[in-house]
Amino acid sequence: MTLQQQIRGNRWRTGLLFILFGVLIAMVLGAASFAVDLPLLIVIGVGMIVYGVVTWYASGTMVAALAGAHPVGRDSYPELWQAVEAAAIGAGLPSTPAVYVINDPAPNAFAAGRNPKHAYVAATTGLLAVMNPRELRAVMAHEIAHVRNRDVRTMALAAVLVGVLLIVSDILLRVTLFGGGRDSNPFAIIGLIVALILAPIGAMMMQMALSRRREYQADATAAEITGDAEGMAMALAVLDADKRQIHHVARATAHLYIESPLVKGRGLFGNLGGLFQTHPALDLRIAALEEAGGFMLNREAATAGLPPEALMSPSDRGE
């Protein structure tokens, strides 16, 4: 699939996403209209539209604040800037995005912003410590690929809409359970409660599914931008081997990172966990790159430079 088709596909999916969320919200509001007074519904609806618009325009700043990322100058991080600039020019972006850094020993990175002009990329200090220049270029190219493929916009929209839906269902659930409804039909109330619980779960699964496909595409685009598929695979191998978890992370921003920042689910929902993962397994992503690039990654060589504390799982460190 060429890049233009991918961008067009993303536009189309963004539109579809918007419509699906609209339908979900309308269904929730419609179901609620049996139990909640109309004026209250209108107030909630208008409030949510205002909330959605505000968070859309503030999304970039909000994500940076949630992640603990701060903008840095070229002089303090010349290598990172160089990698971002090379990737941005290689991707044909209209301008080089701003560069942010997160003070965290776990290696990770993300891109955010509602369009290429307002986009920025963020890297943790841990990423800068464990990656060699070639791998760093690959990771930055991956983030720039998210910007160029308009993934950041779709993801920002998805995050805003999921947020709106979560709040609407939450408010309505409370009103239905504790407020005096007009309708005392118990079946209608139970149906409504089920709908209010299921809608946000469906929305979140949609968000996760959107994100997983994009990671493969961004890996491929990054390999195209840098002309170095192996460098991308090496960087992923390092991310896979490094067991440290990023500290500042909000569930709502998990889908933005290059590697899933969340501890993988175990126990009761272990097998269903795949549906709620924001990222495909790194093994699968490395395999896809190997197939496309026609090489076999030497994982031991790629991860030889990692410090010993990176290889310990969180439980070994007593966290």
Partner 1 sequence: MIWIIVVLAVVIILLAVWLVALYNRLIRLRVEVQTGWANIDVQLRRRYDLIPNLIEAVKGYVAHEKGVLEAVTEARTGAMSARGPAQTGTANGALASALGGLFVVAENYPDLKASSNFLQLQTELANVEEILAASRRYYNSTVGRYNATQVTVPTIFVARFGDFGPAEFFEEEDQAVRSAPQVSFDQ
**Cα torsion 53, 58, 60, 65: sign:** negative
Helices (H), 76-228: 78-91, 125-130, 133-148, 151-178, 186-226
DSSP string, 184-211: --HHHHHHHHHHHHHHHHHHHHHHHHHH
3-state secondary structure string, 135-148? HHHHHHHHHHHHHH
Which residues 144-203 are close enough to bind partner 1 by CB under 8 A? none
> 183 near 44, Cβ under 8 Å?
no
- In this complex, which beta carbon is closest to partner 1, that of residue 20 or of residue 86? 86
Contacts of 303 (CB under 8 A, 6+ apart): 237, 238, 241
Q: Count the alpha carbons within 13 Å of 253 in the hemisphere toward its beta carbon.
A: 24
Distance of CA 168 to the CA centre of its chain: 22
Residue with Cβ nearer partner 1 (4 or 315): 4
SS3 at position 278: coil
Which residue is it, tokens 């990656």?
A: 131
Query: Site for partner 1 (CB under 8 A): which residue of 6, 10, 207, 226?
Result: 226
For partner 1, the closer CB: 40 or 86: 86
Least distance from C-beta 305 to partner 1, angstroms? 21
Dihedral angle sign, alpha carbons of residues 30, 32, 37, 42: negative
Nearer to partner 1, 92 or 274 (CB): 92
Q: Which two tokens stand for residue 78?
A: 């010349």
Q: Does 76 bind partner 1 (CB under 8 A)?
A: no
Candidate list 227, 267, 294, 318; residue touching partner 1; CB under 8 A: 227
DSSP 305-317: T--HHHHS-TTTT
Report in angstroms how near the CB of residue 298 gets to partner 1 at its nearest.
Answer: 24
Q: Which residue number, 94 or 294, has a Cβ lying nearer to partner 1?
A: 94
Contact 306, 244 (CB under 8 A): no
Using the minimum distance from each CB to partner 1, give the nearer residue, 89 or 205: 89
Nearest to 77 by CA among 112, 119, 127: 127
Q: Which stretch binds partner 1 (CB under 8 A): 13-21, 78-86, 123-131, 270-278?
A: 78-86
Closer by beta carbon to partner 1, 180 or else 227? 227
83-112 positions binding partner 1, by CB under 8 A? 85-87, 89-92, 94
Least CB distance to partner 1 at residue 109 (A)? 18
The distance of closest approach from Cβ of residue 83 to partner 1 in the complex, given in angstroms and rounded to an integer, is: 9
Q: CB of residue 138 vs partner 1: minimum separation in angstroms?
A: 13
Q: Which of 225, 238, 239, 297 binds partner 1 (CB under 8 A)?
A: 225
| 224 included as an active-site residue | no
Least distance from C-beta 93 to partner 1, angstroms?
10
Judged by CB under 8 A, the residue of 55, 82, 125, 132 near partner 1 is 82
> Stretches 11-19, 40-48, 224-232, 237-245: which one binds partner 1 (CB under 8 A)?
224-232
Q: Judged by CB under 8 A, how many residues of this single chain contact partner 1?
A: 13
Q: Pick the catalytic residue: 79, 85, 135, 143?
A: 143
Scanning residues 2 to 31, which ones bind partner 1 (CB under 8 A)?
Answer: 4
In whole angstroms, the minimum distance from the beta carbon of 87 to partner 1 comes to 7
Residue 238 CA from chain centroid, whole number:
20
* Total residue count of the chain as it appears in this document: 319
Binding residues for partner 1, per CB under 8 A? 4, 82, 85-87, 89-92, 94, 225-227
Residues tagged active-site: 143
